[in-house]
Structure 1
Amino acid sequence: MGTSDLVPGISGGTIALLLGIYNDFIRAISGLFSKHFVASIRFLIPIGLGMVLAIGSLSKLINYLLSEFHIPTMFFFTGLIIGIIPFLLKSANFKATFSIKHYLLLILGIAIILIISSLSGEESVNNSHFTLDFGLIIKYFLAGMCASSAMLLPGISGSFMLLVFGVYGTIMFAISEFVSFNFAAIPLLITVGCGVIFGFMFSSKLIQYLLSQHTITTYALIIGLVIGSLYAVFPGIPTHGLEWLISLIVLCIGVFISQKLSSE
């Protein structure tokens, strides 16, 4: 789950769903803020440790690939998203369950991502972004809150929401710098972390309710968000023949990985 949430393609929620622990995971997150705190902590500690280990060990690699091979790397992420769409459609059994309102919700999900993407863009990544003013504090807090909420949903990557807010590269860079003992990134990471905790606190119960009481309606919106994310993640057209070839290869690899995971 930690590895999947590093990249804007496969969500940690989807991995939990594929592993058969999704309902227990949502219940445990929701239980952190109830009388079931102890049981929830026991369930979440090994998951949390695994996610921290994955994020700490792979953040530098992801940061390197984004800076040195941006277009092929984003084509790989695009492939991951394309590959997960059939899984979501199958999970919703859309041919039998979707009505006009569900297709309208799907279109709404696409529109939401298109609008958000048009209002934000990825920043250039350097140490100057570790200096926070009030506006950046609000931005990173909201990004962390939306990322954690998205991570709980099967189909929406938390890192994708960071990408939509235009802070994905900066946060990946901050994590990699922190791992390298550059503590200048701590204020930024604390801000994002507070947003993540706030998002978990207020979204886990809502998501648990929606998925249990309005499953198909929720999936329709999720599928729209995922389809819309293709616009946000697509990096543009490769500039030369070799980059075209590499991009197409990693796109196919991304699709294959997503479909392989969803078929298990």
Structure 2
Amino acid sequence: MEWRNIYRGFLMGISDLIPGVSGGTVAFVLGIYDRLLKAISGFFSLRWKQHIGFLLPLGIGIGAALLSLSKVIDYLLAHHFEPTQFFFMGLIIGVLPFIMKEADVKNSFASSHYIVMIVFALLLASMAFIKPSESADPITTLSVLTVIGLFFSGWLASMAMLLPGISGSFLLLLLGVYSTAINALSTLNLPIIAVIGGGVIVGFIVSSRGIQYLLTHFTNMTYAIIIGLILGSIVVIFPGVPTGSTMIISLIMLLLGLLVSSLFSMVSRT
């Protein structure tokens, strides 16, 4: 068992709680993105035993973060929104040099790759101007229609979780079920958690294989898309220019995020 994956999963779980921040980006920061894709797709095959040692501790960490910090993240976003967002901006900006080195951008990218990168960056950045249609009251009981809706919301969100730059939580906001998911985690509403979680699992199976195929057969173009998505996500989570003492705290958190990202990138290379 790779027990150090517990803390990695915990960090990924924290990011998946925050709209605009991608668990896939954190996996890149930690240097486990490729292994994550292979392990998820391989777990649902005849060779599943080879991947259980990697995935189980990771899942424990993610689950622990989701269950223990949903209220904390909700509080931070409600009362310390700008510093929290600036910390994750630093985390995301800090991973870009690592990813660009992994992609060997200077030697591998042609003009078409840069064009694709810019297009995807602009497409994701445009989501910053979309106002999520979040429903006022979270869903607490299930019907046939809500089961279908929540299941496919979880499916789509999990696909976003694996793509660096795209936030599963932000997608849940766009679909109007983010408050339902947070409320279910905070109150341990097991039926709601099970339905959304089932969609997440199915989405992981499908999307992990798809992304892995693209990275294998269209490596440079896939990296161009990933870098573009990460660049665009910075715009999505930018909370605006803070004022007063909040500006100082936000800048400190930005630098802290850059430092944490750099440290994790160095660790992943050793």
Please report the TM-score for the alignment, with normalisation by the length of structure 2.
0.78
Aligned 8 A contact 2:91 2:260 in 1: yes
1:164/1:77 CA distance change after superposition, 3 Å: farther
Which residue in the other structure is 2:265 paired with?
Answer: 262
Which residue in the other structure is 1:130 paired with?
Answer: 139
Q: Select the residue among 86, 98, 103 that pairs with 2:97.
A: 86
**Is 1:6 paired with 2:10?**
no
Alignment of 1:1-264 (within 5 A): 1-7=9-15, 8=18, 11-13=22-24, 16=27, 21-121=32-132, 123=134, 128-131=137-140, 140-153=150-163, 158-159=168-169, 161-162=171-172, 168=178, 171-178=181-188, 183=189, 186-238=190-242, 240-264=243-267
Q: Give the CA deviation at 1:102.
A: 0.6
**The 10-residue stretch of structure 1 (159-168 or 227-236) with the greater mean CA deviation from structure 2:** 159-168
1:2/1:225 CA distance change after superposition, 3 Å: same
Deviations 1:156-188 (A, max 9, x none): 55445546656556534432332xxxx3xx454
Query: What secondary structure does 2:96 align onto?
Result: helix
Q: Give the CA deviation at 1:151.
A: 3.4
Unaligned runs of 5+ in 2: 1-8
Q: Give the CA deviation at 1:233.
A: 0.7
**The 10-residue stretch of structure 1 (100-109 or 49-58) with the greater mean CA deviation from structure 2:** 49-58
Equivalent AA in structure 2 for residue 69 of structure 1: H
CA distance in 2, matches of 1:206, 1:41: 21
CA distance in 1, matches of 2:128, 2:148: 18
**The 10-residue stretch of structure 1 (198-207 or 43-52) with the greater mean CA deviation from structure 2:** 43-52
1:245/1:163 CA distance change after superposition, 3 Å: farther
Query: What secondary structure does 1:63 align onto?
Result: helix
Q: Give the CA deviation at 1:54.
A: 2.9
Aligned 8 A contact 1:5 1:159 in 2: no
Aligned 8 A contact 1:105 1:220 in 2: yes
Q: Give the CA deviation at 1:140.
A: 4.6
Equivalent AA in structure 2 for residue 98 of structure 1: F
Aligned 8 A contact 2:151 2:199 in 1: yes
CA distance in 1, matches of 2:237, 2:143: 27
CA distance in 2, matches of 1:112, 1:228: 7
Q: Give the CA deviation at 1:191.
A: 3.6
Equivalent AA in structure 2 for residue 102 of structure 1: H
Q: Number of matched residues?
A: 255
Q: Give the CA deviation at 1:103.
A: 0.8
**The 10-residue stretch of structure 1 (41-50 or 225-234) with the greater mean CA deviation from structure 2:** 41-50
Query: What secondary structure does 1:47 align onto?
Result: helix
Query: What secondary structure does 2:60 align onto?
Result: helix
Aligned residues: CA RMSD: 3.1
**The 10-residue stretch of structure 1 (100-109 or 142-151) with the greater mean CA deviation from structure 2:** 142-151
Query: What secondary structure does 2:123 align onto?
Result: helix
Query: What secondary structure does 1:237 align onto?
Result: coil
Aligned 8 A contact 1:102 1:220 in 2: yes
Q: Give the CA deviation at 1:106.
A: 0.5
Q: Give the CA deviation at 1:193.
A: 1.3
